[in-house]
Amino acid sequence: MEKILITGASGFIGGFLVEEALNRGLDVYAGIRKSSSKEFLSDPRINFCYMDFRDTDHLSDLLTTHQFDYVIHNAGLTQAKTEEALMEVNAEYLNNLLTAVAQSDNELKKFSFMSSLASYGPADFQPKGIVDHESVPNPVTKYGRSKLKGEEYLKSTKDIPWVILRPTAVYGPREHELLTVFKSINSGIEAKIGFAPQKLSFIYVYDLARITLDTLLQSDAGSEYFVGDGEIYEVTEFNRYIREALGKKTLKLSIPVPIMSGIALLYESISKVTGNYPIVNLDKMNEIKAKSWQIDTNNLLKDINFVPRFLLEDGIKDTVRWYKENNWI
């Protein structure tokens, strides 16, 4: 049985990666911190590895001991007050793991890095109006820049066969950030930031897990993928599907960007007292203001014959069902 290490296994995406790897018959090792929750990692087939990404020797010993066939590096940080904190977790920790792979005698068949579309930024800056493999990266957030730095570290390695995934907005059961939108619409408030139309792309977490394992097991080393369901949506569609799935009537509001930026500034000021960095912050506003997040996913069809099982409407219905069953809304 082939062994796989999945880092960040206790997170939203990580839990689904673990489930998909188990479904593929792999011997799964979940890389977590000692403080991590195991709420969604209850399958008795899961092996656990407690990982310290600051300690290269520890990582090297772990790899040498277990002799993994595959690694999916999914561990990461989506937001933090400083760019330095994001760079440490999303880039330097990855570099430490890559150094450990090189130092160990663990010859991997494939190393998959869960990057983000944020590493390239929105399509607004691309001449063709779409982010594709000819695009020049133009991240607009600290998070995006940290993910791009991680990609640069990975591409500079020798003798490590890698694959890079850049998912767009990921949604589904257990997701916390977009849950705010679901809760708002459930309470009868449907908000849109700005007045201009906005093109969005999405990927359901189950489909992302399938893509991750398919590209890991089937794709050539050096492959890079922008990951979405292949469709493009207006932000009003996203809200409408949630509203319809919840069976709610809502008050529709359009919040001007300058006002929302002021609210984000207020949230950041409050966070200095509470210590909890807000989801809506000035850096995040750089993504919210973007006009288009359209991506080219053609190589997913070409390389792994990917066809989404969940487009946005059905994915949101499934997500709402889970949120209700688990009393999240």
DSSP string, 149-213: HHHHHHHT-SS--EEEEEE-EEESTT--TTHHHHHHHHTTEEEEESSS--EE-EEEHHHHHHHHH
Both tokens of residue 39?
């709420």
Q: Confidence class of residue 264 from pLDDT cuts 50, 70 and 90?
A: confident
CB count within 10 Å of CB 40 equals 17
Are 99 and 158 in contact by the 8 Å Cβ rule? The answer is no
Per-residue pLDDT, averaged over 139-165, amounts to 96
Q: Confidence class of residue 166 from pLDDT cuts 50, 70 and 90?
A: very high
Sign of CA dihedral 100, 21, 14, 121: positive
Number of domains in the chain: 1
Is residue 97 a part of any domain in this protein? yes
Which residues lie across from 235 on neighbouring strands?
none
Q: In CATH, what number is assigned to the domain containing residue 208? A: 3.40.50.720
The residue segments making up the domain with residue 116 are 3-172+201-231+292-310
Both tokens of residue 3?
């062994």
Closest CA to 256 of 190, 191, 195, 197: 195
Side-chain-side CA neighbours of residue 42 (13 Å):
2
Is residue 64 a part of any domain in this protein? yes
118 backbone dihedrals φ, ψ, rounded to 5°: -60, -25
85 backbone dihedrals φ, ψ, rounded to 5°: -65, -40
Which residues lie across from 32 on neighbouring strands?
50
How many residues would you count in the chain?
Answer: 329
Q: pLDDT at position 73, please?
A: 98
Are 182 and 329 in contact by the 8 Å Cβ rule? The answer is yes
Alpha carbon of residue 163 to chain centroid: 15
pLDDT one-digit tens code per residue, 6-38: 999 999 999 999 999 999 999 999 999 888 888
169 backbone dihedrals φ, ψ, rounded to 5°: -60, 125
Predicted confidence (pLDDT) at residue 193 exceeds the cutoff of 70:
yes
Mean pLDDT of the chain: 93
Q: pLDDT at position 288, please?
A: 84
Q: Confidence class of residue 298 from pLDDT cuts 50, 70 and 90?
A: very high
Which single residue is written with the structure tokens 């607004």? 124
Identity at 236, one-letter amino acid code: T
Is residue 184 a part of any domain in this protein? no
Per-residue pLDDT, averaged over 213-236, amounts to 95
Is residue 186 a part of any domain in this protein? no
